[in-house]
């Protein structure tokens, strides 16, 4: 039992590295399956280049877009606005610009894990590159020369793949070194800050779930006359046809005033003043049919 906490301590704070490793492994597996089931070079002059480059570039581009879309920091950056608590000033604006650049670089780094892995693996495999560059291969009857050209193309592809991996590894290492050198925080202070942000986000998510549930309960109680899970419910409310219609449409975020929104049609209905108060008392000993 004493061995487990050591591993937990070692892994704590390395969630990003572990997540990137998992993404890379999944990308490698997906690339192998994708190549096995879908790739088949047309062996036709004029089409090989388009086909090979499409299999090299298009999946990498899709993975890049997905990487941006799945990162919560992307939407924080897109939808975020300057806090009214921040004072005006050139120094604050410069700090905000630096923070934006830092966050954008962090998002891009996370988003590049999958597409770079895809490109590196496909180049090392060599099949896509050989297909793309095989428009000028020698005729099939000259099999020996043709085999030599294929080996040359595969060599070029694999060298390019390993060079890509080397460039990425060196760039990531130097980026971490530069970030550490210019960071105002010491190593232990940075670990504390990372732990704090992680814990704050977890607690915020828990509070968000509980707060929204308690807020929604008020609207549910107003519509149905009771709260789900309540014991000894004495009466229930009978919503009118107009009220059912009012909450049954498509829900859009509705601006109430400069500071507040209605999150749903039920929310909008619950905040209105006039409500039908028709209730139905429940029997204490309900008749059950068998």
- Annotated domain spans of the chain: 15-78+94-188, 211-281
Residue with the bigger pLDDT between 96 and 6: it is 96
pLDDT, position 11 = 59
How far is the C-alpha of 136 from the C-alpha of 151, rounded, in Å?
A: 14
pLDDT, position 289 = 39
Q: How many CB atoms lie within 10 A of CB 120?
A: 22
pLDDT, position 183 = 78
pLDDT, position 4 = 43
Q: What percent of the chain has pLDDT over 90?
A: 23
Between 64-68, 78-82, 94-98, 256-260, the lowest mean confidence (pLDDT) is in 78-82
pLDDT, position 1 = 40
Average pLDDT for the chain: 81
Q: What percent of the chain has pLDDT over 70?
A: 83
Residue with the bigger pLDDT between 259 and 169: it is 169
What average pLDDT does range 211-233 have in this prediction? 90
The answer, yes or no, to whether residue 277 has pLDDT greater than 80, is no
**Residue spans of beta strands (DSSP E) within 109-249:** 235-237
Task: Report the relative pairing of strands 235-237 and 279-281 from DSSP bridges.
Answer: antiparallel
pLDDT, position 116 = 93
Whole-prediction pTM value?
A: 0.71
Of the ranges 27-36, 56-65, 243-252, the best mean pLDDT one: 56-65
Q: How sure is the predictor about 164, in pLDDT bands with cuts at 50, 70 and 90?
A: very high
Q: How sure is the predictor about 288, in pLDDT bands with cuts at 50, 70 and 90?
A: very low
Residue whose C-alpha is closest to residue 51's, from 63, 60, 42, 62:
42
What average pLDDT does range 174-200 have in this prediction? 85
Strand partners, 254: 262
pLDDT, position 89 = 58
Residue 80 burial by Cβ neighbours in a 10 Å radius (0-12, 13-18, 19+): exposed
* pLDDT digits 0-9 by tens, 71-100: 888 888 887 666 555 555 566 677 678 778
The answer, yes or no, to whether residue 64 has pLDDT greater than 90, is yes
The answer, yes or no, to whether residue 207 has pLDDT greater than 50, is yes
The answer, yes or no, to whether residue 3 has pLDDT greater than 60, is no
pLDDT, position 32 = 83
What average pLDDT does range 122-134 have in this prediction? 87
Residue with the bigger pLDDT between 47 and 219: it is 219
Sign of the Cα pseudo-torsion (108, 110, 111, 114, in order): positive
pLDDT, position 214 = 94
How far is the C-alpha of 133 from the C-alpha of 110, rounded, in Å?
A: 31
What average pLDDT does range 190-201 have in this prediction? 87
C-alpha neighbours within 13 Å on the C-beta side of residue 239: 19
pLDDT, position 6 = 57
């Amino acid at each position: 039992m004493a061995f487990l906490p050591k591993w937990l301590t070692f892994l704590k704070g390395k969630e990003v590295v572990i997540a990137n490793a998992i993404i890379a492994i999944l990308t490698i597996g997906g690339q192998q399956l994708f190549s096995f089931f879908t790739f088949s070079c047309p062996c036709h002059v004029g089409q090989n280049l388009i086909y090979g480059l499409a299999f090299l570039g298009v999946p990498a581009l899709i993975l890049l877009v997905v990487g941006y879309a799945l990162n919560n920091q992307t939407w924080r950056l897109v939808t975020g606005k300057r806090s009214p608590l921040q004072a005006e000033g050139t120094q604050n604006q410069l700090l905000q610009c630096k923070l934006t650049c830092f966050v954008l670089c962090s998002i891009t780094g996370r988003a590049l894990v999958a597409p770079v892995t895809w490109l590196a693996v496909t180049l090392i495999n060599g099949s896509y590159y050989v297909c793309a560059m095989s428009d000028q291969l020698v005729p099939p009857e000259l099999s020996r020369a043709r085999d030599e050209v294929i080996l040359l193309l595969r060599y070029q592809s694999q060298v390019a793949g390993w060079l890509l991996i080397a460039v990425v590894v060196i760039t990531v290492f130097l980026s971490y070194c530069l970030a550490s050198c210019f960071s105002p925080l010491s190593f232990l202070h940075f670990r504390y800050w990372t732990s704090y942000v992680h814990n704050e986000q977890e607690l915020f998510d828990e509070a968000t779930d509980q707060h929204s549930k308690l807020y929604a309960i008020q609207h549910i109680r107003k519509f149905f006359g009771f709260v789900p899970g309540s014991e000894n419910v004495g009466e229930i409310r009978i919503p009118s046809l107009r009220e059912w219609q009012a909450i049954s449409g498509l829900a859009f975020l509705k601006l109430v005033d400069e500071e507040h929104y209605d999150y749903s049609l039920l929310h909008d209905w619950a905040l209105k003043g006039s409500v039908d108060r028709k209730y139905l008392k429940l029997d204490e000993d309900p008749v059950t049919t068998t």
